[in-house]
Amino acid sequence: MKELTRLMLALGILLGIAGVFILYLSWPLLTGTTVILKTQPVDPFDIFRGQYMTINYEISNVELPEEIKEGDNVYVLLKEGDDKIWHAERVSPNKPDNGVFIKGTARQSWRGLTVEYGIEQYFFERNAELPLRDLDVKAKIGSSGQARIVGLLQYGKPINITYRDVTLTS
């Protein structure tokens, strides 16, 4: 009986840890502010990682304050434009007290310092065909600045993903 209690306690702790981890990753989806971000997609396929799209955002190429160095966290305050696209209004190394902001990390690229937000890759199923031009990303941003992709839009509407028929040959 004691061994069963220990086993149940250990299992409960493991499930609790897994639950907290899942809740942490899902929190922006549950409570976040929905924003639409302008994209510049790149590289639709990688032989080692499968079918995905690397996404570059308009807000990735913002002018950073001089004190920001590679690897530093930055907070980009966003503002919704007349076109319903959210644009960078201000960049700061400090978390803003209010407003909608997204947290990112300064990274070195051929253009100088850019900002990565953790939403630069969108994976989709094998044999999926989807448009790669004129895409916007619908994302949710939590109160901590964490972002999660909710969907892809083209001309303001959800994209239509089609699947090629696959023929198996022997």
For residue range 106-159, what is the model confidence (pLDDT) as tens digits?
998 777 788 999 999 888 777 777 777 888 999 999 988 999 999 899 888 998
Q: Does some domain include residue 79? A: yes
At residue 47 the predicted structure's pLDDT band, cuts being 50, 70 and 90, is: low
Q: Does some domain include residue 170? A: no
Q: What is the mean pLDDT of residues 70-99?
A: 93
**Are 88 and 12 found together in one domain?**
no
Is 84 a residue whose pLDDT tops 50? yes
Mean of pLDDT over the chain: 85
Q: What is the mean pLDDT of residues 18-34?
A: 79
pTM of the model: 0.76
For residue 128, what pLDDT is reported? Answer: 77
**Are 47 and 14 found together in one domain?**
no
**Are 24 and 70 found together in one domain?**
no
- DSSP line for the chain: -HHHHHHHHHHHHHHHHHHHHHHHHHHHHHHPEEEEEEEEEE--EETTTEEEEEEEEGGGSPPPPTT--TT-EEEEEEEE-TTS-EEEEEEESS--SSSEEEEEEEEEETTEEEEE-S--EEE--TTEE---SSEEEEEEE-TTS-EEEEEEEETTEEPPPEE-------
**Are 8 and 62 found together in one domain?**
no
At residue 44 the predicted structure's pLDDT band, cuts being 50, 70 and 90, is: low
